[in-house]
Amino acid sequence: MRISQLSAVSGVPIPTIKYYLREGLLPQGEQTSATRAEYGDRHLRRLRLIRALLEVGRLPVATISEIIAAVEDEDMPLHTMLGTAHYALASPAEHAPGDPEHVRARERVDRLIDALGWTVHPEAPTREELAQVLVRLDQLGMPTSDEGLREYAALTMRLVAEHEMGKIPFHGARETAVESLVVGTVLYGKAFDVLRRLAHESESARILST
C-alpha cells in the first residue's frame, strides 16, 4: 500500500509517519519508483507498537528507538528483547543507593526474590524500585514484615501467572509480543490499582459499619 493508505488504515497522520521514517522508528518502504514506496503489514504492526510505547507506555522517543533496535535485532533472544521494554517502564531511581537504610532494604529485596524462587536479573532496576518503596514505608512509620511481603508477593504472582501472562503472544511477531507486554503491563497495572482502591472503599465501609 502507499503511504496515504498506510495512514488511513493505521489512523496515523502522514507527517507523523514521515517523522517515524526519518527517526528510523519505522523501516523504509520498498521503493517502487523515484517518488513512490510500498508499505505492508510489517509497517502496520510497527505503527501499532510505536503507538503503544508512546501513548500507553508514555516512553520518550530515545527509549523507543532502543526498544525498536532490540525488536529488529533477530539475534537477540526474545526474553532479552522483552526485558528492554520492561525495564524502560521502571521509574528512575530517586535516592543514591549508598545510604545504609537503602542498602539494607535492597538486601531484603534480594532475599525475598531468592526465597520466592523467582528468576530476576541481579541488576534489574525493579529491585532498586522495590527497595525504595520499603525505605519510604519504614520512614513513614508503616514498616512491612518479611512474612507479609512474601505473602503479598505470592498473591501477586498468582495474578500475573493466572491472568496476565496468558495474553502475551510469545510465538508471533516480535513487535506483537512487545506491544502486548507494554499494554498489558501498563493497563493491567492501572486496572489493578483501581480495583484495589474500590476494595479499600468497600472494606472500609464494612469495618466502620460494625
Of residues 33 and 209, the one with the C-beta less far from its own copies: 209
Instruction: Count the Cβ atoms, other than its own, within 10 Å of residue 144.
Output: 15
What nine digits make up the cell of 165?
A: 501472562
Nearer Cβ to its own copies (36/197): 197
Which residue, among 200, 128, 116, 122, has the nearest Cα to 157 in the 3D structure? 116
Closer residue to its own copies, CB minimum distance, 2 or 104: 104
Among 86, 102, 106, 174, binds its own copies (CB under 8 A): 86
Least separation in angstroms between residue 136's CB and its own copies is 6
Map the footprint of its own copies across residues 147-176, applying CB under 8 A. Answer: 148, 151-153, 155-165, 167-168, 170
x/- map, 35-74, its own copies, by CB under 8 A: -----------------x---x------------------
Grid cell, residue 136, equals 519510604
| Residue 134 in contact with its own copies, rule: CB under 8 A | yes
Interface stretch with its own copies, choices 2-10, 37-45, 66-74, 77-85 (CB under 8 A) = 77-85
Residue ranges of alpha helices (H) inside the chain are 3-10, 14-23, 41-51, 61-72, 78-88, 100-116, 125-139, 146-159, 174-183, 189-209
| Residue 36, H or E segment | strand 36-38
